[in-house]
Structure 1
């Protein structure tokens, strides 16, 4: 099993490293270039023109590795479905931006509609084909609460929330790719520990794909993942948590994405109700940038936090499941 995980990781990593220059060249031809928002940090203006939609690289490496190693089963296929489905939504968003040469692709309502459809289909397959248990494990305990129909409501919200949270995290060179690689490593361990060895290949392949992409996305980035990558990674993380029956554990393992999303919610609510901004800019990684931290320092600290939360999540599973 260990050999399979290593090979799955290695194949995904190598594919991403090899295809990177090709993807960058083709994205430049397609004029899929980053447009920095006017209200963004001044230090980011130089990034305008950098190829985006690089999430295609992550998805290509992930799919090939998952298909080559281990027999495909419904659990792994369902994770790929949710990941690729969100990748398609992001691809449409990025594609419109490239064609229209503007910073606005799909509207917020159009994105949400796509995410709702993906979540609904995912829940339908869980119920009708996987006969998925509707129990929810409470971390730090041995309790499993049966939510019945409301479990699918919870999963629905979880998928939409996670995909948007990772999308918000993708704002600095290497931040989303690196943190998602770290979280994926945690789910390799968690999947094996809980007896989902065949599914662990998905997490291992995702880790390799993220690290391969990170080679081209580290500061200064030669390519950005765009919504193609960030929405897809959010879908992948949600799938890993749901399909290993560790749904609430994602709050710990993915603590960074939770904080990023909360910072936006707090900022919006505070400004609309009190006219006061809690942070200099949200998501919170921009707050630290405007507080004088370099982009590399913010990313390094956030990766470290993500690693600590991933280790904590593994410890919780090994000690209570």
Structure 2
């Protein structure tokens, strides 16, 4: 972790820690306090304006540490809108529709002005313009959903703040792993601001963050995750990873929606059926233990997301285990209803406990018995016939011809995180157009990344056409790799490609001598380094990768550096 990233946390932490008591004292005298009601569990006069200090500390930190561009500006503007919505709600209690309208406005700012949305969201056989519209709609839903999910868990002292810090630290770690220091700095600015507030918010709380704080934090987390969560690649890493990390607030929100639907209540009607309420009241754990348990749950879900980078099988096992535990907790504490206990009913087949539901007493079992009584032997006969028919069909239609060796691409053993992500896409895709792009991107990421190179090593050789490999290596040594050995000797080979964008993927009419019989394709890429390239003296470049299709496998036959990448003017 760089000094810049650490300082961004430390500075905002100190600022927030200094501001929180001052803001609390002033606003308490102004009467901006959390009022006691049937939903709240606090006692006494406690100001609900900690979010002011969080926002101000973050804003000061952003002015010091962030390099502004269109995306950052859009995030700051959207964050300001959300903060003002929460600010007004803390004082005057905005109606739900007005709050959602403000959230939609903030989301549109980051989408339309900042260009922050789901990248590469495509639905097969659906026109691009329709997919783009759907991507915008899903992005708005994501921002609003996460914003409110974080707000809903702000029910116990230190709960929302602590979970948010864990999420932001996870984003920081994964971003640093992928070389995305910009996302790491943004995350740590917010984490530091929240940590400074948490000093006064942990039980017994002296101040609450209020809607201005919870909504702002939720909005920022949702947008930071859309910036890539530290990755460039599949849709999973665009939304899947943050969904896993934010599993606690997301599942709590989904359960709340289902619960209120089952009990015919309005969605915005408050209750004491949330995760933290069940831990505190149903299990009688108290505030501190309940909060620490939810911290641990968030940390474990965060671990799932991180493990998925290099150990996806372990990540899946842990994730499924956590989901099962969560489901059992939901059923045991009646989070949805007293009748909803499918897993516990199945478990009790083996436990035979009187305090758990028995399967013979369940309504589904009674319906099955009632409907199939006297017909069971016929049902079993049908099942046997179906199974026998299936395996008979598989046997008679089995492939008895010669086995065709599947087309494989080589993965570099010491590849960068981006290369690992691209390789997963290469292995999983069945789309030939997408495969061309992934092969070109993998070659380019390997060729231009120097961080994983040894002396005299040239990247991309595994993907270059073998008959032209010698010419490629000779040219590379005189071109991009001319001074690389010197950088390696001095330990300065830190250049690393951290993200890519496909600018075009077209058929090429230019063909090389001796390879005229193959189809050619030009893939133009925008590549981003982790910092300004020491060789090319720019952070963003444009390159053209030319490939041929030989026996349904793509090979790179040439590359060309187009110069620094300049983002096209939307005007």
Task: Give TM class, smaller chain.
Answer: 0.7 to 0.9
Answering whether residue 112 of structure 2 is matched by residue 120 of structure 1, we say: no
Match of 2:568 in 1: none
Contact 1:260–1:285 (CA<8 Å) still a contact in 2?
A: no
Match of 1:164 in 2: 148
Match of 2:243 in 1: 251
Match of 2:276 in 1: 285
Q: Deviations over 1:162-200 (max 9, x none)?
A: 111011000000000000001000111222233421232
Contact 2:153–2:159 (CA<8 Å) still a contact in 1?
A: yes
Return the match for 1:216 from 193, 200, 210. Answer: 200
SS in 1 for 2:132: coil
Distance 1:27 1:265 in 2: 33
Match of 2:78 in 1: 82
Change (3 A) 1:194 1:75: farther
Contact 1:89–1:114 (CA<8 Å) still a contact in 2?
A: yes
Contact 1:159–1:235 (CA<8 Å) still a contact in 2?
A: yes
Answering whether residue 14 of structure 2 is matched by residue 18 of structure 1, we say: no
Distance 2:195 2:14 in 1: 10
Change (3 A) 1:149 1:282: same
Answering whether residue 167 of structure 2 is matched by residue 179 of structure 1, we say: no
Contact 1:75–1:199 (CA<8 Å) still a contact in 2?
A: no
Report the TM-score when normalising by structure 1.
0.85
Match of 1:55 in 2: 51
- For structure 2, the residue ranges without an aligned partner over 5 or more in a row are 123-129, 230-237, 266-270, 312-419, 422-571
1:134 CA drift (Å): 3.2
Distance 2:12 2:254 in 1: 32
Distance 1:168 1:133 in 2: 24
Return the match for 2:260 from 253, 268, 275. Answer: 268
Match of 1:297 in 2: 289
Q: Deviations over 1:270-291 (max 9, x none)?
A: 1119xxxxxx932221122221
SS in 1 for 2:264: helix
Alignment of structure 1 residues 82-101 onto 2, 5 Å: 82-96=78-92
Q: Provide the aligned C-alpha RMSD in A.
A: 2.1
SS in 1 for 2:263: helix
1:79 CA drift (Å): 2.9
1:318 CA drift (Å): 5.3
Bigger relative CO (Cα 8 Å, ≥ 6 apart): 1
Contact 1:58–1:210 (CA<8 Å) still a contact in 2?
A: yes
- For structure 1, the residue ranges without an aligned partner over 5 or more in a row are 97-104, 138-145, 274-279
Distance 1:230 1:258 in 2: 14
Number of positions where the alignment pairs a residue of Structure 1 with one of Structure 2: 292
Answering whether residue 125 of structure 2 is matched by residue 134 of structure 1, we say: no
Alignment of structure 1 residues 224-243 onto 2, 5 Å: 224-243=208-227
Contact 2:71–2:110 (CA<8 Å) still a contact in 1?
A: no
Distance 1:20 1:84 in 2: 19
Higher fraction of strand: 2
1:150 CA drift (Å): 1.1
Q: Deviations over 1:99-133 (max 9, x none)?
A: xxxxxx00111111111111122221244xx7x67
Change (3 A) 1:202 1:45: closer
SS in 2 for 1:149: helix
Answering whether residue 27 of structure 2 is matched by residue 27 of structure 1, we say: yes
1:264 CA drift (Å): 1.0
Contact 1:76–1:199 (CA<8 Å) still a contact in 2?
A: no
Contact 1:19–1:57 (CA<8 Å) still a contact in 2?
A: yes
Alignment of structure 1 residues 59-78 onto 2, 5 Å: 59-78=55-74
Answering whether residue 173 of structure 2 is matched by residue 189 of structure 1, we say: yes
